[in-house]
Structure 1
Amino acid sequence: MLLIGNGKLITRNPEQMLIEDGCVAIEGTQVKQVGITKDVKASYPDADFIDAKGKLIMPGFINMHNHIYSTFARGLSIRGYHPKNFMDILRDQWWRIDSELNLKDCYHSAATAYLDSVKNGVTTVFDHHASYGEVSGSLAELSRAADEIGVRTCLCYEVSDRNGEEQMKQAVKENADFIQAAASRTDDMQKAMMGMHASFTLSDASMALCKEQTPDGIGYHIHVAEGMDDLYDSLKKYGKPIVNRLFELGLLGEKTMLGHCIYIDPREMDIIRETDTMVVTNPESNMGNAVGCPPAMKMFNEFGIMMGLGTDGYTNDMTESFKVANIIHKHHLVDPNAAWSEVPAMLFDNNPKMANRYFDKPLGVIKEGASADIIVVDYHSPTPITENNINSHILFGVNGRAVTDTIINGTVRMKDREMVGIDEEKIYADAQAQAHDLWKRING
C-alpha cells in the first residue's frame, strides 16, 4: 500500500474536483481510496507515505500523438537542408531520418523519450512510429523501452508507399505483429493501433491491405490534411476530400484517430462526428512546420468532435502544448475568448476518454478503481486555488519540469526528481553515442 498526501489533490473527478490537504491510497495498480490526509493515513497506518508538502497531487498527463523516433533530431543539422515548405520538411528531414533508423536507434531514442515523459509527468503515450532503415521488430524495441522505463503506451507503425511496395507490406506486418503481441498482454500497459502515414502516401490498395490486417476492435492512427499537399493529392487522384476517402474505405470509427485535420471542410467534420472518430491537434508542431492553424474551435464547439491534444514529437511536455494551444487559437481567430475552456477540456477530459477507448482501467482521474497514474507537482500559488480556477493555475504556473514525483500503474517511477531503479546517466550516454552514429549515417 502506498499513500501520497499532504498536498492539494486535484482529482479530475467532477464529484469532488479538489481536496485541500488531500491524500490518495494506492493498492497494487489502482486507486483504493481518496480523502483528507489524516483520515486516509488512519485507514492505512502501515502504508508507505509520500509527503507532497503542500504541492499539487494530480493525474498524470496523457500524450495522444507523439513521434518517439524524432528524439534524435534534436540538435541535428542535415547537410543541404533548407526547407521552403512542408513537403521539403517531410522529404528532406523526417523521411531522411527515418530511412536510416535501425533497431538500436529505435530502442535508445525510445528509452530517452519515455524517460523524458516520466520526468515531465506524462504517464501515457500514444506513439506513431517510423523506421524504414529497419522495419521488422521496431515496435518491439519501443515496447521494450516502455516496459523498462514503466510508461503506459499505445504503439503503431507508419505505413506508407513512399519507399515502395515491399517496405509498405513490411510496415503493415509490423503493425499486425504488434497488435497480436499487445493483445496477449494482461497488464493494461500496452495497446496497439494500425498506423498509416497520410492519404497522399497511400494508395487504395495499401489502405485496403491495412484494413484486411486489422482485427475488430482496433482502429487507425493517421495524419489528415496536415498540409495542403495532402488535400490536393486526394482531390486530384480520387476526386474527393481526404475524410470522405477514409470513410468510403471503411477506416473511420470510434477507435480511429486523425492527426491534425488542418485543411478539412464542414462536410468532413460531419463525417468525423457521425462516425465518432477522434481528432488530435498538435499546436507547437503546426506552428513549427508553418502548416497553419486547424479549425479546432469549430470542430469542438460546432460539431462536438472528440478532440484531444498531442505533441507530435515536438516535446514530451504536455504543459507546453497546453500553453501554445491556448494562444494559437486566440491569435488565429483574433478572439480573446477562444480556447479558454476548449483546450483544457481536450487535455484533461478528452485525452483520458480517448485513451480509454484502448486502455481498460480509467485514466486521467483519481478515484477508487482508477489506474494509479499520479504525479506530484511543485507549485505553490501566490493566489487561491479553487476547483474553478485549477486549469488557469496549471496553464500559467506549471511546466513539466515542476513534476517531482511520477507514479505509473502503482509503481513509483520518479521520486524527488530522481528516477527509481533506472540508471539515467547510462540511458543518456548510450543515447548520445547512438545518436552520433545515426547523424554520421544521415550526413554520409
Structure 2
Amino acid sequence: MPNRILIENGTILTFGSPCRVLEGQALLIEDGVIRTLAPKGAIAGPFDKVLDATGQVVMPGLVNAHMHFYSTLVRGLGKAAPSRNFQEVLDNLWWRLDRKLGLDDVEVSAEVILADAVRKGTTTLVDHHASPFAVTGSLDRIAAAVKRAGVRACLCYEVSDRDGAAISEEGLQENAAFARRCASERDPQLRALFGLHAAFTLEDATLDRAAALGREVGTGFHVHVAEAASDVAANLERHGLTPVARLHAHGLLGPDSIAAHCVHATPADQELLAAAGTFVAHNPQSNLNNAVGIADVLGMCARGVRVGLGTDAMTVGMLEEIRVALWAQHLRQDNPSCAFMEIAGTLFARNPELATRLWGFPLGTLEEGAAADVILVDYHPPTRLDGNTVLGHLIFGLSQAAVDTTVCGGRILMERKVLVNGLDEARLAARSRELADALWDRF
C-alpha cells in the first residue's frame, strides 16, 4: 500500500472543539498517521499517491459509538409477530434471531455492514454482539471481518442470564479471551470492551463476576442502560435500584465504560453517570423506532455527562443519525431552537474522545500525529463555509453528500466511490442471501 499519501485542493474540516476549517492546506499521510498539515506546495515529495480533493471536503473518518453487526441478516424478515412494547420487540424479534445465529452468519453479517460503513465514511465502530448458541469464537470471527474490511472496531459479547447459567459463563469467558487477545496483539484495528446486555437480564452474581473479570483483563464495560421504562421498573422491583444505580453499585461504570441509550435515566442517574465519567451512547433512530422515548441529551450535557452518538444498527451513516438526533431533541424539549451545539458535539467532539480513549492514540480528528482516518466528501458549499458556519454545513448539507474516498490507518479502502480493499460486495451479498435464507427457515 502507498506509504506517503498527499491530499490537496480540498477544504479541510478538523473536527474537535472547535472544528476548524482550513483552506489552501494540504495533508500528508505517512506510516498510517497524519504527518503534516501545511500550505499547498510546502510539503516536499516524493509521494506514493496524490489524492486531488478539488470540489470536496476532507474530514476525519466518522465514529459510531454503539452498533450491532449481527442484525444485518434480519433485513426484510417478516416472520416476527407485531410488538406492542419494547419487551415484545425483544421477545418476538431480536432474542429469537440471536438464538438462531451460527458463526458463519455472525461473520458475514459483520462483513456486509462493514463494506457499507466504508461507503458511508464510518471508519471506527464500537460493536455489541449476541449469538447465545454460537458464543465461543464469535468475536474472533467478527474480528476477521473487521480485518478484511480495513476499518477499526471495538468488540464485546453481551453477557445475559436470559439463556441460562452455562451460556452466561460462556459469554463471560468470550469477553475475557478477546480482551486478552487485544492486549497481547495491540492490533491498531481492534480493541475490546466487556459486554453486558442490560441490568434487567443480569443477576447480581453475574454482575460481580463480570466486574471482577473486567478488572482482571483491564477493560471497561459496554451495556444497554435504561433503554425502556420496563428496564427501570424491573430493576426497581427486584433490586430497589435504577439500572444506573445498580450498575454503579457493582463497579461497572467509569471513564472506560459505555452506557448505551439512557433514555429513562433520571436526573440522579445522570449525576451518577457524570461523576463516574461514563460515556453515554445516544441512539435516536432506534429509540424512536422502538417507541421507547427520547433521551434527555440536554439534561445529561448540562450535568456534565459525556454524550456521544451511536446507531444501534439502524444505519452506519453517522451524518444521517445526527440529523435525527437534532429533530428528536427539538420534539422532546418542545423547542425547535434548542440543542444544536449539544447534538453537534456528540459526533464531532465526544465520539472522537471516546475512540481516542479506547485506542490510546488520537482518532476522529485531523491533526498532526493523529491516525490517518480520512474521508473525502463531494461538496460545493452554496454559502460561506468557515468556523462559524461549519456545523450547519455538516448537518444540513454534508449529511446529504456522497463520500468519494475513504482512508483508514493510511490504507485506502475506497477511491472514487469504488471499494479497493478486496471487498466484493456482489459476492458478499450473494453469500449473505444464502445464509439469510437458512437463518429465516430456522427462525
The answer for the alignment partner of 1:17 in structure 2 is 20
Tell me the CA shift for residue 16 of structure 1: 7.9
Q: What TM-score do the two structures reach when normalised by structure 2?
A: 0.96
SS of 1:111's partner is helix
Residue 330 in 1 paired to residue 330 in 2? yes
C-alpha spacing 1:77/1:105, structure 2 compared with 1 (3 Å)? same
The answer for the alignment partner of 2:62 in structure 1 is 61
Question: For 2:127 and 2:157, how far apart are their aligned partners in 1?
Answer: 9
**Contact 1:11 1:18 survives alignment (8 Å):** yes
After the TM superposition, which residues 21-100 of structure 1 pair with which residues of structure 2 at under 5 Å, given as runs? 21-40=24-43, 43-79=44-80, 81-100=81-100
Point out the more displaced range, 337-346 or 31-40: 31-40
**Contact 1:155 1:193 survives alignment (8 Å):** yes
Question: For 1:15 and 1:115, how far apart are their aligned partners in 2?
Answer: 31
C-alpha spacing 1:181/1:300, structure 2 compared with 1 (3 Å)? same
**Contact 1:325 1:339 survives alignment (8 Å):** no
After the TM superposition, which residues 71-220 of structure 1 pair with which residues of structure 2 at under 5 Å, given as runs? 71-79=72-80, 81-214=81-214, 215=216, 217-220=218-221
Letter in 2 for 1:4: I
Question: For 1:170 and 1:16, how far apart are their aligned partners in 2?
Answer: 44
Tell me the CA shift for residue 6 of structure 1: 0.9
**Contact 2:64 2:351 survives alignment (8 Å):** yes
**Contact 1:227 1:291 survives alignment (8 Å):** yes
Question: For 1:13 and 1:356, how far apart are their aligned partners in 2?
Answer: 12
**Contact 2:322 2:343 survives alignment (8 Å):** yes
Tell me the CA shift for residue 369 of structure 1: 0.6
**Contact 2:176 2:217 survives alignment (8 Å):** no
SS of 1:341's partner is helix
Point out the more displaced range, 431-440 or 275-284: 431-440
Question: For 1:135 and 1:216, how far apart are their aligned partners in 2?
Answer: 19
Question: For 2:16 and 2:156, how far apart are their aligned partners in 1?
Answer: 31
**Contact 1:98 1:131 survives alignment (8 Å):** yes
C-alpha spacing 1:16/1:390, structure 2 compared with 1 (3 Å)? closer
The answer for the alignment partner of 2:240 in structure 1 is 239
The answer for the alignment partner of 2:388 in structure 1 is 388
* CA deviation vs aligned residue, 1:62-101 (integer Å, no higher than 9, x gap): 000001111111111115x110111000111000110101
The answer for the alignment partner of 1:438 in structure 2 is 439
Letter in 2 for 1:18: V
SS of 1:38's partner is coil
Tell me the CA shift for residue 254 of structure 1: 0.6
C-alpha spacing 1:274/1:407, structure 2 compared with 1 (3 Å)? same
SS of 1:407's partner is strand
Q: What TM-score do the two structures reach when normalised by structure 1?
A: 0.96
Question: For 2:440 and 2:244, how far apart are their aligned partners in 1?
Answer: 37
Letter in 2 for 1:370: A
Give % identity.
Answer: 37
C-alpha spacing 1:277/1:13, structure 2 compared with 1 (3 Å)? closer
After the TM superposition, which residues 311-330 of structure 1 pair with which residues of structure 2 at under 5 Å, given as runs? 311-330=311-330
SS of 1:200's partner is helix
The answer for the alignment partner of 1:412 in structure 2 is 412
* CA deviation vs aligned residue, 1:107-138 (integer Å, no higher than 9, x gap): 00000111111110001000000012311111
The answer for the alignment partner of 1:342 in structure 2 is 342
Letter in 1 for 2:338: A
Question: For 2:341 and 2:406, how far apart are their aligned partners in 1?
Answer: 26
Letter in 1 for 2:434: A
SS of 1:124's partner is strand
Letter in 2 for 1:415: E
Question: For 2:336 and 2:415, how far apart are their aligned partners in 1?
Answer: 39
SS of 1:91's partner is helix
The answer for the alignment partner of 1:249 in structure 2 is 250
Letter in 1 for 2:202: L
* CA deviation vs aligned residue, 1:315-342 (integer Å, no higher than 9, x gap): 1110111100011011111112222100
**Contact 1:152 1:189 survives alignment (8 Å):** yes
Aligned residues: 438
SS of 1:358's partner is helix
The answer for the alignment partner of 1:260 in structure 2 is 261
**Contact 2:372 2:409 survives alignment (8 Å):** yes
Question: For 1:24 and 1:335, how far apart are their aligned partners in 2?
Answer: 40
Q: Residue 7 of structure 1 is aligned with which of 10, 14, 29?
A: 10
SS of 1:157's partner is coil
**Contact 1:120 1:400 survives alignment (8 Å):** no
C-alpha spacing 1:13/1:285, structure 2 compared with 1 (3 Å)? closer
Tell me the CA shift for residue 285 of structure 1: 0.3
C-alpha spacing 1:390/1:16, structure 2 compared with 1 (3 Å)? closer
**Contact 2:16 2:352 survives alignment (8 Å):** no
- Unaligned 5+ segments in structure 2 are none
- Find runs of 4+ consecutive structure 1 residues off by over 3 angstroms: 13-16
C-alpha spacing 1:46/1:65, structure 2 compared with 1 (3 Å)? closer
Point out the more displaced range, 2-11 or 209-218: 209-218
Tell me the CA shift for residue 216 of structure 1: 5.5
C-alpha spacing 1:14/1:47, structure 2 compared with 1 (3 Å)? farther
- Unaligned 5+ segments in structure 1 are none
C-alpha spacing 1:15/1:249, structure 2 compared with 1 (3 Å)? closer
Question: For 2:51 and 2:400, how far apart are their aligned partners in 1?
Answer: 20
Task: Report the RMSD for the aligned CA atoms in angstroms.
Answer: 1.4
The answer for the alignment partner of 1:293 in structure 2 is 294
C-alpha spacing 1:16/1:283, structure 2 compared with 1 (3 Å)? closer
**Contact 2:19 2:390 survives alignment (8 Å):** no
SS of 1:208's partner is helix
